[in-house]
Amino acid sequence: MRYSKINNILFKKNRIKLAKKLEKKSVAVINSNDEMPKNGDIKFKFCQNSDIFYLTGIEQEKTVLLLYYHNKSKKFKEILFIIKSKKELEIWGGHKLTEDEAREISGIKEIRFLNQFESILKETVISNENIYLNNNEFFKFSTPVASRDIRFIQYMKNLFPLHCYKRLAPLMTKLRLQKEPEEIELIKKSCEITISAFHRVLKFVKPDIKEYEVEAEITHEFISSGANGHAYDPIIGSGKNNCILHYISNDKECKTGDLLLMDFGAEYAGYAADATRTIPVNGKFTDRQKEVYQSVLRVMKKAIKMIKPGTTINKINKKVNKLIEKELITIGLTTSEEIENLGSEDVVMKYFMHGTSHFIGLNVHDTGTKDTKLKPGMVLSCEPGIYIEDENFGIRLENDILVTKNGQINLLDKLPIEIEDIEKLMSM
């Protein structure tokens, strides 16, 4: 692995927390993601399922975790199933985990090979009543192909049609939302690598470079720092492309006078950072760009303070939209009369088309909904923006915020954001 070894106490704690949420007389099965085909005989780089990683730390494909209620001891027990390595597998794909290595990473004592999975599954399921299975219930997720989870649900229902089935997703969502201190440290490391990449970019950007050259600088910094790479496809858009929310082609030339919007974040040990900064290609903001930038920055500073225990993303969105509305009047994009006539929502939506926050963790858009009450240990983005296509630019600024008992900590507070700091660093 590229990252420093994670103490398996984290994964043990996570499994204990899950077992406490399961009803007695239950079995829970957590699968790995599929290995996804590309073209010909090539596959995409394997991406582990976040839930099994959270519970075991194992990144290897086809791994399955079984938790089951043991009737004699009246306790939950755990078995981890892994691939049994073969010479041909190792010739092409390299080393596969041994039982000892899987035990060391996960802290699970009982490691078995996959050829024993079905018989052990039957034994444990038949002596219990409930079966908890996983599924991706992220509210924006959709896929035209049946995932491993969906196929596994069908397989289980064929084998055990009369058991009581339960959803793991709501339990995993709750657990993953509130991070353990070890997880916060890993997110901080992702943030640290992301900050280094931004400093590198500030030295690199000048007129006439291509957006993808900026992407390459960021990628270099991420990979050489031990990150897996980008936590999501980086958005590196200049000029009008500032206004395309998920612009990822990154293939245009950066022109003098334009702004460059960069939304990028490292993934370290599975954990994401998510940062956005908007900088002038030639190192100097125009007066108009400064005016709009300061509006977004004012909103951001106030929005960060709203991220604290007890509130929700929906409540934050409502308040931030009000702040944006006021700023739109200040920078001459609308008037009180227009807002009166068209309604605030439509006017704000024209220049600020997305929400202010999402949860961050093992996924850049992590588990949790807009109505989840914020609690200490949760990490959220704060990313207001104003996009003015008619003026060929837009500005988004994004930090990652940790909710604490008394308020919040900005995990990207070392990522330059003030206009003077950015102009100074770009001139050096």
Q: Which residues bind ligand GLY (CB under 6 A)?
A: 232, 263, 274, 364, 381
Shorter beta-carbon distance to ligand GLY: residue 15 or 358: 358
Shorter beta-carbon distance to ligand GLY: residue 17 or 354: 354
Spatial contact of 221 and 204, defined as CB atoms under 8 Å apart: no
Shorter beta-carbon distance to ligand GLY: residue 364 or 415: 364
Helix (H, G, I), strand (E, B) or coil at 184: helix
Shorter beta-carbon distance to ligand GLY: residue 173 or 194: 194
Reference 179, options 339, 4, 374; nearest CA is 374
Half-sphere exposure of 195 (CA within 13 A, CB side): 16
Question: C-beta of 263: minimal distance to ligand GLY in Å?
Answer: 5
The alpha carbons of the chain give a radius of gyration, in whole angstroms, of: 24
Residue 80: CB partners within 8 Å, gap ≥ 6?
56, 58, 63, 64, 65, 66, 102, 106, 108, 110, 111, 112
Shorter beta-carbon distance to ligand GLY: residue 182 or 233: 233
Query: CA distances (Å), 272 to each of 185, 338, 375, 381, in order?
Result: 12, 40, 19, 11
Question: C-beta of 358: minimal distance to ligand GLY in Å?
Answer: 6
Which of the listed partners (Mn ion, ligand GLY, none) does 232 bind, with a CB threshold of 5 to 8 Å by partner kind? ligand GLY
Residues 231, 273: Cα–Cα separation, whole Å: 7
Rounded-to-5 percentages of helix, strand, coil across the chain: 40, 20, 40
Shorter beta-carbon distance to ligand GLY: residue 283 or 384: 384
Q: Going residue by residue from 335 to 374, which x/- string records binding to Mn ion, judged by CB under 5 A? A: ----------------------------------------
Shorter beta-carbon distance to ligand GLY: residue 192 or 263: 263
Alpha-helix runs per DSSP H in 42-165: 50-56, 87-93, 99-106, 117-126, 148-159
Question: C-beta of 398: minimal distance to Mn ion in Å?
Answer: 6
Question: C-beta of 169: minimal distance to ligand GLY in Å?
Answer: 21
C-alpha dihedral (210, 216, 218, 223), degrees to nearest 10: 180
Q: Which of 274, 327, 366, 400 binds Mn ion (CB under 5 A)?
A: 274
Which of the listed partners (ligand GLY, Mn ion, none) does 211 bind, with a CB threshold of 5 to 8 Å by partner kind? none
Provide the 10 A C-beta neighbour count for residue 336.
10
Question: C-beta of 366: minimal distance to ligand GLY in Å?
Answer: 11
Question: C-beta of 383: minimal distance to Mn ion in Å?
Answer: 5
Shorter beta-carbon distance to Mn ion: residue 108 or 243: 243
Q: What are the φ and ψ backbone dihedral angles of 268, each rounded to 5 degrees?
A: -120, 125
Residues 279, 290: Cα–Cα separation, whole Å: 10
Shorter beta-carbon distance to ligand GLY: residue 57 or 361: 361
Question: C-beta of 411: minimal distance to Mn ion in Å?
Answer: 13
Residues 179, 132: Cα–Cα separation, whole Å: 23
Question: C-beta of 354: minimal distance to ligand GLY in Å?
Answer: 7
Specify the stretch interacting with Mn ion by CB under 5 A; choose among 7-15, 49-57, 157-165, 274-282.
274-282
- Binding status of residue 267 toward Mn ion by CB under 5 A: no
Residues 392, 369: Cα–Cα separation, whole Å: 33
Q: Which of 190, 381, 408, 410 binds Mn ion (CB under 5 A)?
A: 381
Specify the stretch interacting with Mn ion by CB under 5 A; choose among 146-154, 270-278, 298-306, 386-394.
270-278
Shorter beta-carbon distance to ligand GLY: residue 149 or 274: 274
Angle at 58 between CA 65 and CA 228, to 5 degrees: 145
Beta strands in 223-293 (DSSP E): 229-230, 235-238, 259-264, 266-268, 271-272, 275-280
Question: C-beta of 382: minimal distance to ligand GLY in Å?
Answer: 11
Question: C-beta of 356: minimal distance to Mn ion in Å?
Answer: 10
Residues 68, 265: Cα–Cα separation, whole Å: 37
Specify the stretch interacting with Mn ion by CB under 5 A; choose among 59-67, 103-111, 273-281, 286-294.
273-281
Reference 285, options 393, 413, 414; nearest CA is 393
Which of the listed partners (Mn ion, ligand GLY, none) does 221 bind, with a CB threshold of 5 to 8 Å by partner kind? none
Query: Under the rule (CB under 5 A), what is the footprint of Mn ion?
Result: 274, 381
